[in-house]
A and B are shown apart, each in its own frame.
Chain A
Amino acid sequence: MTTTIIRTMTRILSPLILVFGLYIILHGHLTPGGGFQGGAVFASGLALLIVGFERKRVKSLFEKAPLSFIESIGALGFLGIGLIGLATYTFLKNFIANSGFLFGSSTPEGINPGYLNTGGTLSYLNIFVGLKVLAGLTSIVLIFFLILGRERDE
């Protein structure tokens, strides 16, 4: 049962929570956090959206969301990065670090402000794990919500 207070606060808060989750995922190699934590934050924002609105609206909103597809992309991307590393030297080798590719520039040693374009495979793995965690947690919350709503409707 959602009230006007919950709906209004969801409208205000959920974009901020989603952006914060994306920030934690993308800055996993610079600041505390990473794929798991950022994915959990992002999924909590989506869970707020799910419980904040009526069942009909949630169904129309998430009907087309390819959550299983995103989760599979996360798992297969992680394995794929690991296997490319295996092709170069060993499983999950950081083969992009210091190579000049995207996320591949080298970080200066010692104290530095932190540059986003560093990290090598760490950034890619953070993104893949984040996708996986957010899709998994969101689909669990979604299916529990749908079951509860169905029992309430009957």
Chain B
Amino acid sequence: MRKLLGIIAFLAFAIILFVAAIHLRPFGSPPHTEMDKYFIENAQKEASANNVVTSVVFDYRGFDTLGEATVLFTAVTGVLMALRHYGGGKK
């Protein structure tokens, strides 16, 4: 019974993955290029910075970067909270 269930699950996953793989685009052609074109053409004017990657990270998707910074803040806070007792009482 368990073997049968395993085979059915395996076949279902395999079929889903194969269908998804068949519908992929040809190698190297991105699905949508409108957003890339917008960034490349307007980032220098709107964000007034040469580094388009930084304009995307800190301006167009700044909220995402805020989340990353929060992850780091939480990690540091957790480590310090767990270990400050052993660190000689400081920090």
B79 in contact with A133 (CB, 8 Å) = no
Chain A: number of interface residues, binned into ranges = 35 or more
Shortest CB-to-CB span from B46 to chain A, Å, is: 7
Task: Determine chain A's interface SS by DSSP, over half rule.
Answer: helix
Contact residues of B between 40 and 78, Cβ < 8 Å to A = 44-51, 53-55, 57-59, 62-63, 65-66, 68-70, 72-73, 75-76
Q: How large is the interface on B (under 10, 10 to 19, 20 to 34, 35 or more residues)?
A: 20 to 34
Q: Shortest Cβ distance from A25 into chain B, in angstroms? A: 11
When distances are taken between beta carbons in the complex, the residues of chain B under 8 Å from A21 are none
B87 at the binding interface (Cβ < 8 Å): yes
Query: Which A-B residue pairs are the 3 nearest by beta carbons?
Result: A92-B62, A29-B49, A136-B76
Q: What are 9 A-B pairs with beta-carbon distances under 8 A? A: A71-B76, A107-B50, A109-B45, A110-B44, A119-B49, A121-B58, A122-B47, A136-B75, A140-B76
